[in-house]
Structure formats: structure tokens, C-alpha cells
């Protein structure tokens, strides 16, 4: 199991050091600094073995988090834990920075004592932790016995992510379907790979212990219902809209509140949600993806000292919808001496420090087309190695789900309190963003 956990600043000074196991000595702290943080070359692996001690590290801005062990631990668990640790810290004091860590070091030690025991991760849900560890010191000294046992039963309980007795005057929930669409396209416009990785993020402000059921246009469910001939689907088009009938989901994963066995057997998504914001599910689709933009590059080498670049982008969605925050990044060779750009729409700039021409367009409607052309002057070099021609990448945001996913319903049942599904105010929003959206040139 995890033998120790260290946090360093960018210089390699240790900010937090907690050792859980006897086989980890103080010298481990230095070993990591010397061999990884101060190492000359780029990090070649997130797992490093130094003198029979294994170090797992992740970086958040310029802060290093390292877990050490001398045993054959579950590596995936260690990384998941490190991420979780970051989430917990962020939930307590915001950005993970040297200053914030120093300001909260007592709190961090308390958290580390609670969420890792002898190197075994324990309940690390912030909802539960915040009931007894706070930035203002520890609660619990002046609590009643009932409160105490409520805390412990929540921390250890089946529903460790939600406490009892939550009350809202207005029961409300927000669903965000956030998709990032990833594309790798060849210069000839052939799709080499494309997938959507989506997340359903929920903000719930619901009283009591509500039982929720979530439905979407999952092909498997729809097909099954079609076969069964069920006509009175209670949740039909309650929240959803038009568009594709159903989508094929390659795979999905769920927040731990979702009853996985039920999903496995009936493919229904039922759960008692945590309070506030959390990620209900992640999914991935690869079939019938709407690619919001198409990038058509044209690069021509004119002699040895000049490049001509022309890039056309085409928007491929309903004309009534607007894409936003469009950014096209055209890489330029390292020996670029000057660039002249002409674009039809938006603004384009050559950024020498980033070796790229960045073309920004604030808004663009569907079924439109725009173009940029640039002349790149090159310095003559002796470098034999050819320019690697990195791909042209794109960023954007569109108000629909490129996978075609639609929320069909989200039903809320709370039997003990007197509010029904109809009283809950529900909001759904779809946002499609670019993930890694690249076209080779």
C-alpha cells in the first residue's frame, strides 16, 4: 500500500510530507527530488523506481504530488487516489498552489490522516469529509451524540456521498450534457479517428434522500422498448427534443452513487445523488458523430524559404445554431522569420513564442465557410531534419451534443417528504466542445 505521500513546489522543496509505512524513510523525499524533479530530461514515466522504491507522481500547475511505496501496490488505485486528493484539496481551498498549500497545511495533514490509513484509501468524498473536517478547525467537539454518530454512519455508510436531513425550499436540478468531440483527420479529409467523450454533470438541490432515475436515448433501451411494444413510456420526450432517435453508446462509467448491478441487468440508471455538483456519468460514442467543423488545409512550399498556407473551415450544423469561441491554430516551422495573414472573418495573429498562427472567430453560424491564407517567410537553415508539420488544431463550442445524445427524463422520487417529481424544477443544457480536434497537413 501507499507508504508515504509528499507534496513539493516547483523547486522541489517539500511542502507536505506524510509517511504511513515504516519502510519509507526520510531519504525517499530527497530521492524523488533529485531523480525526478531535478532530473535533466523530460519525465519519461509517471512511475519511477529509485533504489527499490516506487514513486507515483502527478503534477498540478507547478505542484508535484508524489506517492511512494516499496510494495506491489495497485498502481491504478494510487493514481486515482492522487487525483482524488487533488479534488478534495480543491474543494476545500480552491486552486492547488504553493501558497494555498502552505496556508492550509494543517488542514491537509488532517485530511491525509483521515483519507489514508496505513496507506489504504478511506472515504474521500468531500461531502462527507466536510461534515467533520473544516478549515476553521475540527467540528465534533461540541456536537451531540446523535450528530457524531450521524457523521460516522455517513462516512462508513452505504450512501457515503450524501448526508441526511438536507432541506431546500425549492427543489431544483440542473443537468449539463458536456461533450468533447475528438477528431483526427488526414490532409485529404479522411476521418482517421473520431470519438465523443461526454459527461453528464448534475447539480442537485433536492431535499431529503431522493431516489432518481435517469433516461437517455440509449439505443439498447430504445430498441428493447420498441420490441416490447411499450407505448406509454412515462418519460417520453419530457425533457428531450427532436433529432436522432437513438444513439449507440460504446461504453459508459458512473459515479459511485449509481447502482451498477441494476444498470448491468436492466440498463436503467438509478441513484441517490450527492448534494450539489457532481459528475453522474461519462460515456463514449464513435458512431454517427456530427463533426461540427471541417478543416481543409493546403500547405505549399515555395522554394526553401517560403511556405504558403491556406486553411478553409466549414461549419456543419443547423444554420440556426451558433458556434462560439472558435480558434484555429496553424503551426509554423521553427525557423519562421515573418508571417503575413489575410482572413475573411475574425482575427488572426502570428504568435512567434508558440510557433503558430492563431485565428480566432467569435461566432459562426451553421453551414457557413471561412478562409485564411498566410505567407510564411523562412530563414535558411542547415538543419537536415525536416519540419515535423504538426497538425492544425481547432477549438470551439457548440450548443448541441455532437454525439446526438438526448436526455429523455430524470425522475425524482422522495417518499418521505411531500414533494413529487412534478414539483422539481429541472434544467437541461447541451454543450459540445472540441477535444483534440486535429487535421494533419
Partner 1 sequence: MTDSKYFTTTKKGEIFELKAELNSDKKEKKKEAVKKVIASMTVGKDVSALFPDVVNCMQTDNLELKKLVYLYLMNYAKSQPDMAIMAVNTFVKDCEDPNPLIRALAVRTMGCIRVDKITEYLCEPLRKCLKDEDPYVRKTAAVCVAKLHDINAQLVEDQGFLDTLKDLISDSNPMVVANAVAALSEIAESHPNSNLLDLNPQTINKLLTALNECTEWGQIFILDCLANYMPRDDRESQSICERVTPRLSHANSAVVLSAVKVLMKFMEMLPKDLDYYGTLLKKLAPPLVTLLSAEPELQYVALRNINLIVQKRPEILKHEMKVFFVKYNDPIYVKLEKLDIMIRLASQANIAQVLAELKEYATEVDVDFVRKAVRAIGRCAIKVEQSAERCVSTLLDLIQTKVNYVVQEAIVVIKDIFRKYPNKYESVIATLCENLDSLDEPEARAAMIWIVGEYAERIDNADELLESFLEGFHDESTQVQLQLLTAIVKLFLKKPTETQELVQQVLSLATQDSDNPDLRDRGYIYWRLLSTDPVAAKEVVLAEKPLISEETDLIEPTLLEELICHIGTLASVYHKPPSAFVEGSRGVQHKKLTARAGSGESAESPDVGLSGPSEAPPAVIPSQGDLLGDLLNLDLAPPTATVPSVQPSMQMGAMDLLGGGLDSLMGDESDTLGGDIGGSPSMGGGLGVAPAAMPAALGGAPAVGGGLGDLFDLSGGVGMPTGSYVAPKTVWLPAMKAKGLEISGTFARRGGIIQMDLSLTNKAMSVMTDFAIQFNRNSFGLAPAGPLQVLTPLSPNQTIDVSLPLSTSGPVMKMEPLNNLQVAVKNNIDVFYFSCQYPISMIFVEDGKMERQVFLATWKDIPNDNEALFQIKDIHLNSDAASNKLQGSNIFTIAKRTVEGQDMLYLSVKLTNGIWVLAEMRIQTGNPNYTEMELSIKCRAPEVSPFVFQCYELVLKN
The bridge status of strand 53-60 relative to strand 369-378 is: unpaired
In the three-class reduction of DSSP (H, G, I as helix; E, B as strand; rest coil), residue 133 is classed as strand
Tell me if 19 contacts partner 1 by CB under 8 A.
yes
Burial class (CB in 10 A: 0-12, 13-18, 19+), 89: buried
Residue 349 assigned ligand-binding role: yes
* Complex with partner 1: residue 351 or 362, whichever CB lies closer: 351
The CA angle 176-180-186, to the nearest 5 degrees, is: 160
Tell me if 70 contacts partner 1 by CB under 8 A.
yes
In the three-class reduction of DSSP (H, G, I as helix; E, B as strand; rest coil), residue 31 is classed as helix
- Minimum Å distance from CB 418 to partner 1? 29
Give the number of other CB atoms < 10 A from CB of residue 151.
Answer: 18
Tell me if 259 contacts partner 1 by CB under 8 A.
yes
Tell me if 224 contacts partner 1 by CB under 8 A.
no
- Minimum Å distance from CB 332 to partner 1? 15
Residue 130 assigned ligand-binding role: no
Tell me if 10 contacts partner 1 by CB under 8 A.
no
The bridge status of strand 356-365 relative to strand 347-351 is: antiparallel
Tell me if 232 contacts partner 1 by CB under 8 A.
no
* Complex with partner 1: residue 329 or 408, whichever CB lies closer: 329
Question: Which residue(s) pair with 369 in the sheet?
Answer: 314
Closest among 346, 318, 327, 285 to 434, alpha carbons compared: 327
- As a whole number of angstroms, the longest Cα–Cα distance in the chain is 82
Residue partners of 435: CB distance under 8 A and separation at least 6: 180, 181, 182, 197
Residue partners of 16: CB distance under 8 A and separation at least 6: 5, 6, 7, 101, 105, 108, 109, 112
Tell me if 256 contacts partner 1 by CB under 8 A.
yes
In the three-class reduction of DSSP (H, G, I as helix; E, B as strand; rest coil), residue 382 is classed as coil
**Per rule CB under 8 A, count of chain residues that contact partner 1:** 106
- Minimum Å distance from CB 279 to partner 1? 7
Site for partner 1 in 316-345 (CB under 8 A): none
Return the residue of 31, 50, 77, 166 that touches partner 1, per CB under 8 A.
Answer: 77
E strands, 209-355, in order: 211-216, 251-254, 269-271, 276-285, 293-302, 306-315, 322-331, 336-343, 347-351
* Complex with partner 1: residue 282 or 314, whichever CB lies closer: 282
Q: Decide if 394 contacts 295 (C-beta within 8 A).
A: yes
Site for partner 1 in 274-293 (CB under 8 A): 279, 281-282, 284
State the Cα torsion 61-64-65-71 to the nearest 10°.
Answer: 140
In the three-class reduction of DSSP (H, G, I as helix; E, B as strand; rest coil), residue 396 is classed as strand
The CA angle 181-186-192, to the nearest 5 degrees, is: 55
* Complex with partner 1: residue 77 or 299, whichever CB lies closer: 77
Residue 384 assigned ligand-binding role: no
Contact mark string toward partner 1, 118..147, x via CB under 8 A? x-xxxxxx------x----xx-xx-x-x--
Stretch touching partner 1 by CB under 8 A, among 101-109, 167-175, 293-301, 320-328: 101-109
Site for partner 1 in 401-440 (CB under 8 A): 436, 438, 440
For residue 428 the three cell numbers come to 437541461
- Minimum Å distance from CB 308 to partner 1? 20
Return the residue of 215, 292, 297, 391 that touches partner 1, per CB under 8 A.
Answer: 391
- Minimum Å distance from CB 345 to partner 1? 26
* Complex with partner 1: residue 197 or 225, whichever CB lies closer: 197
Site for partner 1 in 144-203 (CB under 8 A): 145, 148-149, 151-153, 155-158, 160, 184, 186, 192-193, 195, 197
Q: How far is CA 408 from the centre of its chain?
A: 24
Return the residue of 146, 388, 415, 418 that touches partner 1, per CB under 8 A.
Answer: 388
In the three-class reduction of DSSP (H, G, I as helix; E, B as strand; rest coil), residue 65 is classed as strand
Residue 347 assigned ligand-binding role: yes
* Complex with partner 1: residue 61 or 320, whichever CB lies closer: 61
- Minimum Å distance from CB 249 to partner 1? 9
User: Residues annotated in the binding site, as ranges?
Assistant: 347, 349, 351, 360, 362
Amino acid at each position: 500500500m501507499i507508504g508515504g505521500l509528499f507534496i513539493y513546489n516547483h523547486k522541489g522543496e517539500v511542502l507536505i510530507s506524510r509517511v504511513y509505512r515504516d519502510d519509507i524513510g526520510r531519504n525517499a523525499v530527497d530521492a524523488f527530488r533529485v531523480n525526478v524533479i531535478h532530473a535533466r530530461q523530460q519525465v519519461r514515466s509517471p512511475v519511477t523506481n529509485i533504489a527499490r522504491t516506487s514513486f507515483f507522481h502527478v503534477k498540478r500547475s507547478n505542484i508535484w504530488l508524489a506517492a511512494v511505496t516499496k510494495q506491489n501496490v495497485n498502481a491504478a488505485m494510487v493514481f486515482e487516489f492522487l487525483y482524488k486528493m487533488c479534488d478534495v484539496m480543491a474543494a476545500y481551498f480552491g486552486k492547488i498552489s504553493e501558497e494555498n498549500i502552505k496556508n492550509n497545511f494543517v488542514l491537509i495533514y488532517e485530511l491525509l490522516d483521515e483519507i489514508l490509513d496505513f496507506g489504504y484509501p478511506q472515504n474521500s468524498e468531500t461531502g462527507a469529509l466536510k461534515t467533520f473536517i473544516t478549515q476553521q478547525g475540527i467540528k465534533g467537539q461540541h456536537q451531540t451524540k446523535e450528530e457524531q454518530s450521524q457523521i460516522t454512519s455517513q462516512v462508513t455508510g452505504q450512501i457515503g456521498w450524501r448526508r441526511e436531513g438536507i432541506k431546500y425550499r425549492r427543489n431544483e436540478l440542473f443537468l449539463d450534457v458536456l461533450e468533447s468531440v475528438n477528431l483526427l483527420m488526414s490532409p485529404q479529409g479522411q476521418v482517421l479517428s473520431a470519438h465523443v467523450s461526454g459527461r453528464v454533470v448534475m447539480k442537485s438541490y433536492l431535499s431529503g434522500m431522493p431516489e432518481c432515475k435517469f433516461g437517455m436515448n440509449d439505443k439498447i433501451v430504445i430498441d428493447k422498448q420498441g420490441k416490447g411494444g411499450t407505448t406509454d413510456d412515462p418519460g417520453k420526450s419530457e425533457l428531450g427534443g427532436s433529432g436522432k432517435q437513438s444513439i449507440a453508446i460504446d461504453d459508459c462509467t458512473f459515479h459511485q452513487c449509481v447502482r451498477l448491478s441494476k444498470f448491468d441487468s436492466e440498463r436503467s440508471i438509478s441513484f441517490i445523488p450527492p448534494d450539489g455538483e457532481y459528475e453522474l456519468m461519462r460515456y463514449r460514442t464513435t458512431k454517427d458523430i456530427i463533426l461540427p467543423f471541417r478543416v481543409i488545409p493546403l500547405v505549399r512550399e515555395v522554394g526553401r524559404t517560403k511556405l504558403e498556407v491556406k486553411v478553409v473551415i466549414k461549419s456543419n450544423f443547423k444554420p440556426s445554431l451558433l458556434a462560439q469561441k472558435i480558434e484555429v491554430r496553424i503551426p509554423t516551422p521553427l525557423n519562421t522569420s515573418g508571417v503575413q495573414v489575410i482572413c475573411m472573418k475574425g482575427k488572426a495573429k502570428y504568435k512567434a513564442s508558440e510557433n503558430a498562427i492563431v485565428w480566432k472567430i467569435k461566432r459562426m453560424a451553421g453551414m457557413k465557410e471561412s478562409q485564411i491564407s498566410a505567407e510564411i517567410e523562412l530563414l535558411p537553415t542547415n538543419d537536415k531534419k525536416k519540419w515535423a508539420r504538426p497538425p492544425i488544431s481547432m477549438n470551439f463550442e457548440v450548443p448541441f451534443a455532437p454525439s446526438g445524445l438526448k436526455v429523455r427524463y430524470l425522475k425524482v422520487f422522495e417518499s418521505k417528504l411531500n414533494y413529487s417529481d412534478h414539483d422539481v424544477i429541472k434544467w437541461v443544457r447541451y454543450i459540445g466542445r472540441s477535444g483534440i480536434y486535429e487535421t494533419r497537413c
